[in-house]
Amino acid sequence: MIVRKSRAELEAMREGGRITAACLRLLAENARPGTTTRELDALAEEFIYSSGGKPEFKGYQGFPASICASPNSMIVHGIPGSYRLKEGDIISLDVGVRFEGFVTDSATTVPVGEISEEARRLLDVTRRCLEAAIPQVRVGRRLGDIGHAIQSVAEPEGYGVVRDLVSHGVGRRMHEDPQIPNYGRPGTGPRLLPGMTFAIEPMITLGTHEIRIDERDGWSIYTADGSLAAHFEHTVAVTEEGPWVLTLEEEGLGEAASA
3 state SS for the chain: CCCCCCHHHHHHHHHHHHHHHHHHHHHHHHCCCCCEHHHHHHHHHHHHHHCCCEECCCCHHHCCCCEEEEECCEEECCCCCCCECCCCCEEEEEEEEEECCEEEEEEEEEECCCCCHHHHHHHHHHHHHHHHHHHHCCCCCEHHHHHHHHHHHHHHHCCEECCCCCEEECCCCCCEEEEECCCCCCCCCCECCCCCEEEECCEEECCCCCEEECCCCCCCEEECCCCCEEECEEEEEEECCEEEECCCCCCCCCCCCCC
Q: 114 near 30, Cβ under 8 Å?
A: no
Structure pTM? 0.95
251 contacts 244 by C-beta, under 8 angstroms: no
Confidence category of residue 254, pLDDT binned at 50, 70, 90:
very low
What is the tens place of the pLDDT at every residue in 100-159? 999 999 999 999 999 999 999 999 999 999 999 999 999 999 999 999 999 999 999 999
CA distance 75 to 77: 7
Asked if 24 and 95 touch (Cβ cutoff 8 Å), the reply is yes
**pLDDT score of 251:** 67
Q: pLDDT tens across 45-103, in order?
A: 999 999 999 999 999 999 999 999 999 999 999 999 999 999 999 999 999 999 999 99
State the Cα torsion 248-250-253-255 to the nearest 10°. Answer: 50
Q: Percentage of residues in the chain with pLDDT exceeding 70?
A: 97
Tell me, what amino acid is at 55? Answer: P
CA 143/CA 181 separation, integer angstroms: 9
In 3D space, the residue among 50, 135, 104, 108 whose CA is nearest the CA of residue 230 turns out to be 108
